[in-house]
Amino acid sequence: MQKISIRPLSVTSLFILYITLFMFPGQCENFKPVPYKTGIFLAKPNYPSNFVQSLASLRDSLWIGTDAGLARFDGLTWKTFRGDHLVPDGKYRYARIRGNVPELGAGGVNDILPMDSYIWFATDSGLVRYQTVTDRWYVYNSRNSPLKTDYIQCVTPFTDKIVIGTWGFGITIHDPQSNLFSSQVGTGFQGKYILAVAADKFRICVGTLHNGLNIYSPRENVWENITAASGKIPSNRINALERDNKSFFIGTDKGLVIFNLENRSTSLITTVNSNLIGNNIKALHHDPQSGLLYVGTTDGLSIFDGTYWKSVNENQGLPQNWVSSVTTTGDEIWVGTHDAGIARLKKQ
Protein backbone atom coordinates (compact mmCIF):
# COMPACT_ATOMS: atom_id res chain seq x y z
CA MET A 1 0.00 0.00 0.00
CA GLN A 2 1.37 3.38 -0.90
CA LYS A 3 2.36 5.51 2.08
CA ILE A 4 3.01 9.20 2.25
CA SER A 5 6.20 10.40 3.88
CA ILE A 6 6.04 12.41 7.08
CA ARG A 7 7.96 15.61 7.66
CA PRO A 8 10.64 15.37 10.36
CA LEU A 9 9.53 16.70 13.71
CA SER A 10 11.20 19.60 15.44
CA VAL A 11 13.19 19.20 18.62
CA THR A 12 10.20 20.28 20.65
CA SER A 13 8.44 17.13 21.84
CA LEU A 14 5.04 18.61 22.53
CA PHE A 15 3.59 21.82 21.30
CA ILE A 16 0.26 22.97 22.69
CA LEU A 17 -1.20 26.15 21.38
CA TYR A 18 -4.32 27.60 22.96
CA ILE A 19 -6.21 30.21 21.03
CA THR A 20 -9.80 31.27 20.88
CA LEU A 21 -11.47 29.89 17.76
CA PHE A 22 -14.58 31.12 16.03
CA MET A 23 -16.05 29.09 13.22
CA PHE A 24 -17.25 30.52 9.93
CA PRO A 25 -20.80 31.88 10.05
CA GLY A 26 -21.30 30.12 6.69
CA GLN A 27 -24.03 32.53 5.54
CA CYS A 28 -26.62 30.92 7.80
CA GLU A 29 -28.81 32.58 10.37
CA ASN A 30 -30.02 29.75 12.60
CA PHE A 31 -26.77 27.82 13.01
CA LYS A 32 -24.74 30.32 15.03
CA PRO A 33 -20.94 30.24 15.30
CA VAL A 34 -19.82 28.65 18.57
CA PRO A 35 -16.65 29.66 20.41
CA TYR A 36 -14.06 26.91 20.75
CA LYS A 37 -10.72 26.56 22.42
CA THR A 38 -8.23 24.47 20.49
CA GLY A 39 -5.12 22.58 21.51
CA ILE A 40 -2.70 21.35 18.86
CA PHE A 41 -0.72 18.23 19.72
CA LEU A 42 2.30 17.08 17.75
CA ALA A 43 3.45 13.48 17.75
CA LYS A 44 6.53 12.44 19.70
CA PRO A 45 6.60 11.48 22.49
CA ASN A 46 2.81 11.38 22.63
CA TYR A 47 2.01 9.25 19.59
CA PRO A 48 4.10 7.71 16.79
CA SER A 49 3.45 10.01 13.82
CA ASN A 50 1.79 13.26 12.77
CA PHE A 51 -0.11 11.44 9.99
CA VAL A 52 -3.29 10.58 11.92
CA GLN A 53 -5.23 7.99 9.92
CA SER A 54 -7.95 7.07 12.43
CA LEU A 55 -9.53 8.26 15.68
CA ALA A 56 -12.01 6.57 18.01
CA SER A 57 -13.18 7.00 21.60
CA LEU A 58 -14.07 4.40 24.20
CA ARG A 59 -15.30 5.51 27.60
CA ASP A 60 -12.71 8.02 28.87
CA SER A 61 -9.97 7.29 26.34
CA LEU A 62 -9.14 8.49 22.85
CA TRP A 63 -7.40 6.03 20.51
CA ILE A 64 -5.16 7.43 17.79
CA GLY A 65 -4.13 5.39 14.75
CA THR A 66 -1.21 6.70 12.71
CA ASP A 67 0.84 5.45 9.77
CA ALA A 68 3.50 4.31 12.25
CA GLY A 69 1.56 2.85 15.17
CA LEU A 70 -1.09 3.44 17.81
CA ALA A 71 -1.59 5.62 20.89
CA ARG A 72 -4.12 6.16 23.67
CA PHE A 73 -4.89 9.40 25.50
CA ASP A 74 -6.90 9.37 28.75
CA GLY A 75 -7.13 13.14 29.05
CA LEU A 76 -3.93 13.45 31.04
CA THR A 77 -1.36 10.97 29.78
CA TRP A 78 -0.40 9.40 26.47
CA LYS A 79 0.62 5.79 25.88
CA THR A 80 2.14 4.55 22.64
CA PHE A 81 1.69 1.04 21.23
CA ARG A 82 4.01 -0.13 18.47
CA GLY A 83 5.09 -3.34 16.84
CA ASP A 84 8.66 -4.11 15.85
CA HIS A 85 9.84 -1.37 13.51
CA LEU A 86 12.88 0.13 11.84
CA VAL A 87 14.39 3.50 12.67
CA PRO A 88 17.36 5.32 11.08
CA ASP A 89 20.59 4.67 12.98
CA GLY A 90 22.30 7.85 11.73
CA LYS A 91 24.65 5.88 9.46
CA TYR A 92 22.45 5.48 6.39
CA ARG A 93 21.10 2.24 7.81
CA TYR A 94 18.12 1.20 9.90
CA ALA A 95 18.03 -0.39 13.32
CA ARG A 96 15.24 -2.77 14.34
CA ILE A 97 13.43 -1.62 17.47
CA ARG A 98 11.41 -4.07 19.54
CA GLY A 99 7.86 -2.82 20.02
CA ASN A 100 5.66 -3.22 23.09
CA VAL A 101 2.84 -4.79 21.02
CA PRO A 102 4.34 -7.11 18.36
CA GLU A 103 0.85 -7.87 17.04
CA LEU A 104 0.61 -4.37 15.56
CA GLY A 105 3.49 -4.99 13.19
CA ALA A 106 5.52 -2.23 11.59
CA GLY A 107 2.82 -0.56 9.51
CA GLY A 108 -0.01 1.84 10.07
CA VAL A 109 -3.33 1.69 11.90
CA ASN A 110 -5.93 2.53 9.27
CA ASP A 111 -9.18 2.21 11.22
CA ILE A 112 -10.39 1.66 14.80
CA LEU A 113 -13.61 0.00 15.95
CA PRO A 114 -14.48 -0.10 19.69
CA MET A 115 -16.96 -2.93 20.42
CA ASP A 116 -18.01 -3.94 23.93
CA SER A 117 -14.94 -5.41 25.66
CA TYR A 118 -12.89 -5.50 22.46
CA ILE A 119 -11.29 -2.90 20.24
CA TRP A 120 -10.56 -3.86 16.64
CA PHE A 121 -7.77 -2.26 14.63
CA ALA A 122 -7.44 -2.42 10.85
CA THR A 123 -3.70 -2.37 10.26
CA ASP A 124 -1.13 -3.00 7.54
CA SER A 125 -0.17 -6.17 9.43
CA GLY A 126 -3.62 -7.73 9.84
CA LEU A 127 -6.80 -7.39 11.88
CA VAL A 128 -5.74 -6.74 15.47
CA ARG A 129 -8.01 -7.38 18.46
CA TYR A 130 -7.41 -5.84 21.88
CA GLN A 131 -9.30 -7.18 24.89
CA THR A 132 -9.66 -4.27 27.28
CA VAL A 133 -10.42 -6.35 30.39
CA THR A 134 -7.46 -8.72 30.12
CA ASP A 135 -5.13 -6.30 28.31
CA ARG A 136 -4.40 -8.95 25.68
CA TRP A 137 -3.66 -8.50 22.00
CA TYR A 138 -4.22 -10.88 19.10
CA VAL A 139 -3.72 -10.53 15.36
CA TYR A 140 -5.53 -12.25 12.50
CA ASN A 141 -3.43 -12.25 9.35
CA SER A 142 -2.93 -14.17 6.12
CA ARG A 143 -0.80 -16.78 7.90
CA ASN A 144 -3.07 -17.76 10.80
CA SER A 145 -6.57 -17.08 9.41
CA PRO A 146 -8.59 -17.22 6.17
CA LEU A 147 -7.71 -13.58 5.46
CA LYS A 148 -6.03 -13.36 2.06
CA THR A 149 -3.95 -10.30 2.87
CA ASP A 150 -2.43 -8.53 5.84
CA TYR A 151 -3.49 -5.11 4.55
CA ILE A 152 -6.74 -4.28 6.33
CA GLN A 153 -8.08 -0.87 5.41
CA CYS A 154 -11.33 -0.53 7.39
CA VAL A 155 -13.72 -2.31 9.75
CA THR A 156 -17.33 -1.72 10.82
CA PRO A 157 -19.97 -3.53 12.94
CA PHE A 158 -22.73 -5.54 11.25
CA THR A 159 -25.30 -7.06 13.68
CA ASP A 160 -23.09 -9.22 15.96
CA LYS A 161 -20.34 -9.51 13.34
CA ILE A 162 -17.76 -7.20 11.80
CA VAL A 163 -17.14 -6.32 8.17
CA ILE A 164 -13.50 -6.14 7.13
CA GLY A 165 -12.39 -4.12 4.11
CA THR A 166 -9.08 -5.27 2.64
CA TRP A 167 -6.59 -3.78 0.23
CA GLY A 168 -6.71 -6.02 -2.82
CA PHE A 169 -9.20 -8.74 -1.83
CA GLY A 170 -12.59 -7.10 -1.29
CA ILE A 171 -14.38 -7.66 2.02
CA THR A 172 -14.66 -10.42 4.60
CA ILE A 173 -17.17 -10.87 7.43
CA HIS A 174 -15.87 -12.13 10.78
CA ASP A 175 -17.98 -13.66 13.54
CA PRO A 176 -16.12 -13.11 16.85
CA GLN A 177 -18.31 -15.65 18.66
CA SER A 178 -17.57 -18.57 16.34
CA ASN A 179 -14.23 -17.16 15.19
CA LEU A 180 -15.24 -17.84 11.58
CA PHE A 181 -14.45 -15.78 8.48
CA SER A 182 -16.53 -15.69 5.31
CA SER A 183 -15.77 -13.94 2.04
CA GLN A 184 -18.55 -11.69 0.79
CA VAL A 185 -17.24 -10.87 -2.68
CA GLY A 186 -20.18 -12.35 -4.59
CA THR A 187 -21.94 -11.79 -7.88
CA GLY A 188 -22.37 -8.11 -8.61
CA PHE A 189 -19.58 -6.93 -6.31
CA GLN A 190 -17.04 -4.73 -8.07
CA GLY A 191 -13.61 -3.69 -6.86
CA LYS A 192 -10.77 -5.25 -4.88
CA TYR A 193 -9.37 -2.19 -3.14
CA ILE A 194 -11.65 -1.10 -0.30
CA LEU A 195 -11.43 2.37 1.22
CA ALA A 196 -14.51 2.45 3.48
CA VAL A 197 -17.29 0.27 4.91
CA ALA A 198 -20.50 1.07 6.80
CA ALA A 199 -23.49 -1.06 7.74
CA ASP A 200 -26.82 -1.25 9.51
CA LYS A 201 -28.83 -4.41 10.23
CA PHE A 202 -30.35 -4.40 6.74
CA ARG A 203 -27.43 -3.64 4.43
CA ILE A 204 -23.68 -3.28 4.00
CA CYS A 205 -22.15 -0.41 2.03
CA VAL A 206 -18.64 -0.77 0.63
CA GLY A 207 -16.66 2.08 -0.90
CA THR A 208 -13.91 1.25 -3.36
CA LEU A 209 -10.87 2.94 -4.85
CA HIS A 210 -11.98 2.83 -8.50
CA ASN A 211 -15.27 0.92 -8.70
CA GLY A 212 -17.81 3.07 -6.91
CA LEU A 213 -20.17 1.89 -4.19
CA ASN A 214 -21.33 -1.68 -3.48
CA ILE A 215 -24.52 -2.28 -1.46
CA TYR A 216 -25.31 -5.73 -0.07
CA SER A 217 -28.76 -6.86 1.07
CA PRO A 218 -28.59 -9.99 3.27
CA ARG A 219 -32.30 -10.66 2.77
CA GLU A 220 -31.96 -10.95 -1.01
CA ASN A 221 -28.32 -12.07 -0.82
CA VAL A 222 -27.40 -9.80 -3.73
CA TRP A 223 -24.89 -7.05 -4.39
CA GLU A 224 -25.70 -3.83 -6.20
CA ASN A 225 -22.85 -1.82 -7.69
CA ILE A 226 -23.38 1.93 -8.15
CA THR A 227 -20.93 3.93 -10.24
CA ALA A 228 -20.65 7.50 -11.45
CA ALA A 229 -22.16 6.40 -14.75
CA SER A 230 -25.51 5.94 -12.97
CA GLY A 231 -25.61 9.61 -12.02
CA LYS A 232 -26.20 8.73 -8.36
CA ILE A 233 -22.62 9.42 -7.25
CA PRO A 234 -20.17 11.98 -8.71
CA SER A 235 -17.07 9.77 -8.60
CA ASN A 236 -16.06 6.11 -8.47
CA ARG A 237 -13.65 6.82 -5.61
CA ILE A 238 -15.38 6.46 -2.23
CA ASN A 239 -13.07 7.73 0.52
CA ALA A 240 -15.40 7.58 3.54
CA LEU A 241 -18.77 6.19 4.64
CA GLU A 242 -20.97 6.97 7.64
CA ARG A 243 -24.62 6.50 8.58
CA ASP A 244 -27.40 7.64 10.88
CA ASN A 245 -30.91 6.23 11.32
CA LYS A 246 -32.18 7.66 8.04
CA SER A 247 -29.25 7.93 5.66
CA PHE A 248 -25.87 6.71 4.52
CA PHE A 249 -23.32 9.47 3.95
CA ILE A 250 -20.92 8.85 1.08
CA GLY A 251 -17.69 10.85 0.96
CA THR A 252 -16.10 11.05 -2.49
CA ASP A 253 -13.33 13.11 -4.02
CA LYS A 254 -16.01 15.20 -5.75
CA GLY A 255 -18.48 15.91 -2.97
CA LEU A 256 -20.76 14.40 -0.33
CA VAL A 257 -23.69 12.16 -1.27
CA ILE A 258 -26.62 11.58 1.11
CA PHE A 259 -28.32 8.26 0.37
CA ASN A 260 -31.88 8.19 1.75
CA LEU A 261 -32.67 4.73 3.13
CA GLU A 262 -36.45 5.08 2.80
CA ASN A 263 -36.81 6.02 -0.86
CA ARG A 264 -33.23 5.21 -2.03
CA SER A 265 -32.81 8.72 -3.43
CA THR A 266 -29.43 10.45 -3.47
CA SER A 267 -28.53 14.11 -2.95
CA LEU A 268 -25.16 15.55 -3.94
CA ILE A 269 -23.65 18.28 -1.76
CA THR A 270 -20.69 20.26 -3.05
CA THR A 271 -19.02 23.62 -2.55
CA VAL A 272 -21.18 24.93 -5.39
CA ASN A 273 -24.61 24.27 -3.86
CA SER A 274 -23.74 24.51 -0.15
CA ASN A 275 -21.24 25.90 2.36
CA LEU A 276 -19.28 22.65 2.45
CA ILE A 277 -15.64 23.74 2.75
CA GLY A 278 -14.17 21.25 0.25
CA ASN A 279 -15.22 18.56 -2.22
CA ASN A 280 -12.41 16.05 -1.62
CA ILE A 281 -13.81 14.30 1.45
CA LYS A 282 -11.43 12.17 3.53
CA ALA A 283 -13.32 11.52 6.79
CA LEU A 284 -16.89 11.35 8.10
CA HIS A 285 -18.21 11.12 11.65
CA HIS A 286 -21.81 11.25 12.86
CA ASP A 287 -22.31 12.20 16.51
CA PRO A 288 -25.47 10.39 17.70
CA GLN A 289 -25.83 12.68 20.73
CA SER A 290 -25.91 15.98 18.86
CA GLY A 291 -27.01 14.63 15.48
CA LEU A 292 -24.21 16.60 13.81
CA LEU A 293 -22.25 15.27 10.85
CA TYR A 294 -18.52 16.08 10.76
CA VAL A 295 -16.98 16.16 7.30
CA GLY A 296 -13.20 16.16 6.96
CA THR A 297 -11.87 17.41 3.63
CA THR A 298 -8.54 18.42 2.14
CA ASP A 299 -9.65 22.04 2.65
CA GLY A 300 -10.71 21.85 6.29
CA LEU A 301 -13.51 20.57 8.53
CA SER A 302 -17.23 21.20 7.99
CA ILE A 303 -20.06 20.51 10.44
CA PHE A 304 -23.62 19.87 9.20
CA ASP A 305 -26.79 19.95 11.32
CA GLY A 306 -29.03 18.69 8.52
CA THR A 307 -29.74 22.17 7.18
CA TYR A 308 -26.81 24.51 7.79
CA TRP A 309 -23.03 24.28 7.61
CA LYS A 310 -20.17 25.82 9.53
CA SER A 311 -16.50 25.23 8.82
CA VAL A 312 -13.00 25.64 10.17
CA ASN A 313 -9.56 25.49 8.55
CA GLU A 314 -6.01 26.73 9.12
CA ASN A 315 -7.23 30.32 9.32
CA GLN A 316 -9.27 29.45 12.41
CA GLY A 317 -6.62 27.36 14.20
CA LEU A 318 -6.40 23.92 12.60
CA PRO A 319 -2.76 22.86 12.17
CA GLN A 320 -3.50 21.83 8.58
CA ASN A 321 -6.41 21.96 6.13
CA TRP A 322 -6.15 18.27 5.17
CA VAL A 323 -8.39 16.51 7.70
CA SER A 324 -7.79 12.76 7.61
CA SER A 325 -9.90 11.68 10.61
CA VAL A 326 -12.38 13.10 13.11
CA THR A 327 -14.29 11.93 16.19
CA THR A 328 -16.07 13.40 19.21
CA THR A 329 -15.87 12.77 22.95
CA GLY A 330 -18.43 14.63 25.02
CA ASP A 331 -18.02 18.32 24.27
CA GLU A 332 -14.70 17.83 22.47
CA ILE A 333 -14.00 17.41 18.77
CA TRP A 334 -10.76 15.65 17.83
CA VAL A 335 -9.40 16.37 14.36
CA GLY A 336 -6.59 14.28 12.87
CA THR A 337 -4.60 15.79 10.02
CA HIS A 338 -2.59 14.44 7.10
CA ASP A 339 0.82 15.23 8.58
CA ALA A 340 0.41 18.00 11.16
CA GLY A 341 -0.86 16.16 14.23
CA ILE A 342 -4.12 16.43 16.14
CA ALA A 343 -6.31 19.39 17.00
CA ARG A 344 -8.69 19.31 19.95
CA LEU A 345 -11.67 21.64 19.65
CA LYS A 346 -13.44 22.23 22.94
CA LYS A 347 -16.73 24.08 23.28
CA GLN A 348 -16.67 26.83 25.89
Q: Kindly report the CATH class assigned to 52-185.
A: mainly beta
Average pLDDT, the chain: 85
pTM of the model: 0.86
Q: Taking residues 176-188, what's their average pLDDT?
A: 85
Tell me: the pLDDT tens digits for 34-45?
445 567 777 767
**Burial (Cβ within 10 Å: 0-12, 13-18, ≥19) of residue 194:** buried
Local structure of 74: helix, strand or coil: coil
Say what the pLDDT of residue 108 is.
Answer: 92
Q: What is the mean pLDDT of residues 236-257?
A: 97
Predicted confidence band of residue 127 (pLDDT cuts 50, 70, 90): very high
CATH label, 195-269, candidates 3.40.50, 2.40.10, 1.20.120, 2.102.10: 2.40.10
Residue 137, classed as helix, strand or coil, is strand
pLDDT at 223: 92
Query: pLDDT tens digit string along 158-181?
Result: 999 999 999 999 999 999 999 999
Nearest to 246 by CA among 263, 232, 234: 263
Q: What is the DSSP letter of 167?
A: B
Q: CA–CA distance from 324 to each of 52, 54, 66, 339 (Å)? A: 7, 7, 10, 9
CA–CA separation, 147 and 57 (whole Å): 27
Give the CA dihedral 115, 116, 121, 127, nearest 10 degrees.
Answer: -90
Sign of CA dihedral 96, 102, 106, 108: negative
Domain ranges of the chain: 52-185, 195-269, 292-347
Looking at residue 5, the DSSP 8-state letter turns out to be -
The residue type at 107? G
How remote is the C-alpha of 285 from its chain's centroid?
Answer: 8
**Cis-peptide into 234, omega within 30 deg:** no
Alpha-carbon gap, residue 194 to 156, rounded angstroms = 13
Position 151 scores a pLDDT of 97
Residue count of the chain:
348
From CA 241, how far away is CA 233, in angstroms rounded?
Answer: 13
Is residue 168 within 8 A of residue 2, CB to CB? The reply is: no
State the average pLDDT over residues 72-97. 70
Separation of alpha carbons 113 and 199, rounded Å:
13
Instruction: Give CA–CA dist 166/227, Å, rounded.
Output: 20
Statement: residue 94 has pLDDT above 70: no
Q: How confident is the model at residue 11 (pLDDT cuts 50, 70, 90)?
A: very low
**Over residues 125-133, mean pLDDT:** 94
pLDDT by residue (tens digit) across 260-302?
A: 988 889 999 999 999 999 999 999 999 999 999 999 999 999 9
- Higher-scoring residue by pLDDT: 292, 90: 292
The sign of the torsion formed by the CA atoms of 52, 328, 208, 320 equals negative
Q: Which candidate, 180, 163, 159, places its Cα nearest to that of 171? A: 163
* Cβ atoms of 110 and 64 closer than 8 Å: no
* pLDDT of 107 strictly over 90: no
22 half-sphere exposure, CB direction, 13 A CA radius: 4
